[in-house]
Amino acid sequence: MSKIHVLSPRLANQIAAGEVVERPSSVIKELVENAIDAGATRIDIDVEKGGSKLIRIRDNGSGIAPDDLPLALSRHATSKIITLDDLEGVHSLGFRGEALASISSVSRLDLTSSTQDTGEGWRVIAEGRDMATQVTPAPHPKGTSVQVKDLFFNTPARRKFMRTEKTEFGHIEETFRRLALSRPDIALSLRHNQKAIHQLPAGTRQAEQEKRLASLLGKNLMNQSLYIDVEATGLRLWGWVGLPTHSRSQADQQYFFVNRRVVKDRLVVHAIRQAYRDVLFHGRHPVFVLYLELDPAVVDVNVHPTKHEVRFRDGRLVHDFLFRTLHRALAEVRPEADGSTAPTNMTHAGVAGQEAATEQPMQDQTAIAFSDGSASGSSDRSGVSDEHSVLPYRSQAQSSPGGISDYLNSYQQISRQAGAMQTESVADSGAAIEPWNTGAAPQGLPEDDPTGAPPLGFAVAQLHGVYILSEAKDGLILVDMHAAHERIIYERLKTSYQEGGAEISTDAGSSVDGRES
């Protein structure tokens, strides 16, 4: 008797479901993407008990013809690709033809659709068994409704791995957020246990899109973000990037879309982190909602069953384009007279284009920004241990009466030189060099006082061995000694690099070659 045999259609579909249908949120992702591919302009999502009991999705797309309904539930049946050429330049979100077949194999699926405006529709039912589907007439407006009940009812091993209702709905809401951000031109709604959670109208203008972002990610993001739109070498990058002052302790508000498909790509993540490296403190993560548009033929989306990963034909080109675009956008941020921040050549993002960016009063008065994105006087010092950073400065300042003033004066001198160097570079080339203060906080260095006061004031005290308290013309300034020391060394390295790589000595006594660094 042969040891090799063909798997039954039911078992084959259930194996495929293990890749495609991870949890209820996976079902919603696949079904909503089908609705988007069908040209829907409105999609309504209803779930009960975190999606384990019921998932219902309605759209007003093109619908499915009666003859195609049985095929829609068959494995590897799709209307989106026909030849290999279609696969090499995929324009749609779905193309494998596995989603409906996989979902129907582990649930009770009811699909009703109509291609007519007359209200005449057809219905097909599947309950995870090896049985021929039957198509029956059913009234339905133009579009499609898919109802998924009792997910994993016939696969107990999969069902017991589902989490609590609250946890599963959290994943559903995150999936909804990604889909809503990917297509702001489509109206979307989400209900859970008969309660409306989100009602998002469609919008194509920037102000309408920003309103959607504010409702999903919070108004604070829109008050502290930049809108960019840059196109070059066949690539277009547009969207919103948060200012370094709006960083987070975890990477939970990072959304990147390639041709409106949400992806998680290490090349993309590396390019963005490199763009922020000079303005973010260690352990902090930037916030962004970015859209990359390029020819579908130069990006492969068929590298993962859930299509979360992509592969670019020219990864170096994409990496450099992302890095340079974001780096320049952050470098062009300048403080305004009211203490808010805005780029010199790009539009500052605000909800509906109207809300001005404002900072907290205490930050306006006392915060000075350094290259790591932290503000002097900030209580967030994650990643910096007292043993290795605070004590050496404390002991050195105490051993030298002029230690505090030396730190402050050195920083003032270096900051002036860096500012002059950047101004000369902008005048010569029209583009900012790697910035010394790229908008990491709304307050930059004050101008020199004609009466003779240094830009950062006169040092008057040391606080807890960590901060310098200085008196300026307009008030008191707190300077983080640790960040100032890093800033001084950093600017010396950059100045050395610009001058040809002269060897310099750090305060610790070690020598560093600027060009090699």
DSSP string, 267-301: HHHHHHHHHHTTTS-TT-B--EEEEEE--GGGEE-
CA distances to 22, 296, 321, 431 from 316, in Å: 33, 17, 8, 22
Confidence (pLDDT) at 503: 58
Is the predicted pLDDT of residue 379 greater than 70, yes or no?
no
**C-beta separation of 311 from 300 below 8 A:** yes
Query: What confidence tier does 50 reach under pLDDT thresholds 50, 70, 90?
Result: very high
Confidence (pLDDT) at 154: 86
Alpha helices in 313-446 (DSSP H): 315-331, 361-366, 391-399, 403-429
Confidence (pLDDT) at 115: 93
Instruction: Give the largest CA-CA distance in the chain.
Output: 100
Name which residue leads in pLDDT, 362 or 98.
98
**C-beta separation of 244 from 276 below 8 A:** yes
Confidence (pLDDT) at 149: 95
> Count of residues for the chain?
517
What's the rounded mean pLDDT across residues 79-107? 80
E strands, 140-215, where? Answer: 143-149, 187-192, 195-200
What's the rounded mean pLDDT across residues 332-345? 54
Is the predicted pLDDT of residue 454 greater than 60, yes or no?
yes
Domain with CATH 3.30.230.10 in the chain: 207-352
Is the predicted pLDDT of residue 375 greater than 70, yes or no?
no
Q: Phi/psi of residue 327, each to 5°?
A: -60, -45
- pLDDT > 70 fraction of the chain, expressed in percent and rounded: 72
Is the predicted pLDDT of residue 516 greater than 60, yes or no?
no
Domain with CATH 3.30.565.10 in the chain: 9-198
CA distances to 24, 206, 275, 439, 485 from 491, in Å: 52, 38, 18, 16, 10
CATH class of segment(s) 9-198: alpha beta
Indicate the pTM of the whole model: 0.68
Tokens (6 digits) for 417: 């030189």
Following DSSP, what letter does each residue of 22-71 receive, concatenated? SSHHHHHHHHHHHHHHTT-SEEEEEEEGGGTSEEEEEE-S----GGGHHH
Confidence (pLDDT) at 285: 93
Q: Measure the CA–CA gap between 367 and 373, rounded to whole angstroms.
A: 11
Following DSSP, what letter does each residue of 325-359 receive, concatenated? HHHHHHHTEEE-TTS-EEESSSEEP-GGGTPPP--
Confidence (pLDDT) at 82: 76
Find the range with the poorest average confidence among 4-13, 17-26, 95-104, 401-410.
401-410
Domain 207-352 CATH (choose: 3.40.50.970, 3.40.30.10, 3.30.230.10, 1.25.40.10) = 3.30.230.10
Dihedral sign (CA 73, 75, 81, 87): positive
Query: What confidence tier does 127 reach under pLDDT thresholds 50, 70, 90?
Result: confident
For 269-324, what is each residue's pLDDT tens digit? 999 999 998 888 888 999 999 999 999 889 988 777 667 788 899 999 999 999 99
Q: Measure the CA–CA gap between 249 and 231, rounded to whole angstroms.
A: 31
For 171-230, what is each residue's pLDDT tens digit? 999 999 999 999 999 999 999 999 999 999 999 999 999 999 999 998 888 888 999 999
Is the predicted pLDDT of residue 473 greater than 60, yes or no?
yes
Confidence (pLDDT) at 208: 95
Query: What confidence tier does 93 reach under pLDDT thresholds 50, 70, 90?
Result: confident
Nearest to 493 by CA among 465, 514, 468, 512: 514
- Most confident option among 244-253, 371-380, 458-467, 474-483: 244-253
- Count CB-CB contacts under 10 A for residue 84: 7
- pLDDT > 90 fraction of the chain, expressed in percent and rounded: 38
Query: What confidence tier does 89 reach under pLDDT thresholds 50, 70, 90?
Result: confident
Q: Measure the CA–CA gap between 223 and 225, rounded to whole angstroms.
A: 6
